[in-house]
């Protein structure tokens, strides 16, 4: 069965990691607004230049921009989507609902990766250190200061999505503190 899902959780919860596993094991399509925005930055487009500073600080870019990016992807067709890092605000959640309806699709589950704040800092600082050691670029927002802003943005603007999808009967929570494979198994059990 083809399903479309949303991954919810704070920065560092493991959304990107689990999305990658789902693309590999189930051929699902990852739609990460963070990746799309970083691609826009790398391409040097006007929009990319406009969002760079906001992202580096750890703040949210405007709803208009990210909804536009998602609209474009959905208009290309396909299904079996994993929404990763989107929706991050109630306006984005409403827009996603409308876009799915327009394309005759549904959101089948919103999966919350539950973690403790203290592991998030360790994971993100660890990710930056690993990248540095490997001579790879470090994300401009993977530093202690931006992380504080990202966490605050999550709790203020994005965590209401948990109630939103709960009210729609779509919320499923998994333990994001387990090993990567254990988390993946919990997600697979929800999708099967």
**Residue closest to ligand ADP, measured at CB:** 34
Cβ 107 vs Cβ 4: under 8 Å: yes
Which residue, 28 or 67, has its beta carbon nearer to ligand ADP?
67
Query: Which residues partner with 172 through β-bridges?
Result: 111
- The residues annotated as belonging to the active site are 15, 88, 127, 139, 150
SS (H, E, C) 108-124: CEEEEEECCHHHHHHHH
Nearer to ligand ADP, 59 or 103 (CB): 59
Residues 22-51 that bind ligand ADP (CB under 6 A): 33-34, 37
Among 7, 120, 141, 164, binds ligand ADP (CB under 6 A): 141
Contact 85, 15 (CB under 8 A): yes
Cα(29)–Cα(22) distance, rounded to whole angstroms? 8
Integer-rounded Cα radius of gyration of the chain: 16
Q: How many residues bind ligand ADP (CB under 6 A)?
A: 17
- Contact between 69 and ligand ADP per CB under 6 A: no
Give the closest residue to 59 by CA, choosing from 128, 152, 155, 161: 152
Q: Choose the binding region for ligand ADP from 17-25, 83-91, 130-138, 169-177 (rule: CB under 6 A).
A: 83-91
Closer residue to ligand ADP, CB minimum distance, 141 or 186: 141
Least distance to ligand ADP, CB of residue 33, Å: 3
Beta bridge mates, 6: 83, 110
Three-state DSSP at 114 gives strand
A 10 A CB-CB count for 190 gives 14
Binding site for ligand ADP (CB under 6 A): 11, 33-34, 37, 54-55, 58-61, 66, 85-86, 88, 92, 141, 150
């Amino acid at each position: 069965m083809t399903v479309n899902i949303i991954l919810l959780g704070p920065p560092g919860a493991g959304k990107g990691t689990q999305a990658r596993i789902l693309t590999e094991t189930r051929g699902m399509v990852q739609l990460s607004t963070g990746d799309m925005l970083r691609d826009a930055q790398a391409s040097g487009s006007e929009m990319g230049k406009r969002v760079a500073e906001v992202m580096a600080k750890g703040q949210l870019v405007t709803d208009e921009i990210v909804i536009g990016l998602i609209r474009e992807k959905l208009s290309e067709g396909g299904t079996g989507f994993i929404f990763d890092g989107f929706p991050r605000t109630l306006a984005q959640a409403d827009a996603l609902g409308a876009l799915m309806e327009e394309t005759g699709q549904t959101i089948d589950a919103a999966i919350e990766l539950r973690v403790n704040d203290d592991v998030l800092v360790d994971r993100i600082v660890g990710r930056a250190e690993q990248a540095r050691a490997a001579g790879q670029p470090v994300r401009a927002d993977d530093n202690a200061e931006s992380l504080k802003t990202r966490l605050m943005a999550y709790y203020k603007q994005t965590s209401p999505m948990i109630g939103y999808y709960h009210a729609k009967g779509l919320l499923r929570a998994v333990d994001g503190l387990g090993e990567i494979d254990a988390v993946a198994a919990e997600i697979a059990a929800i999708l099967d």
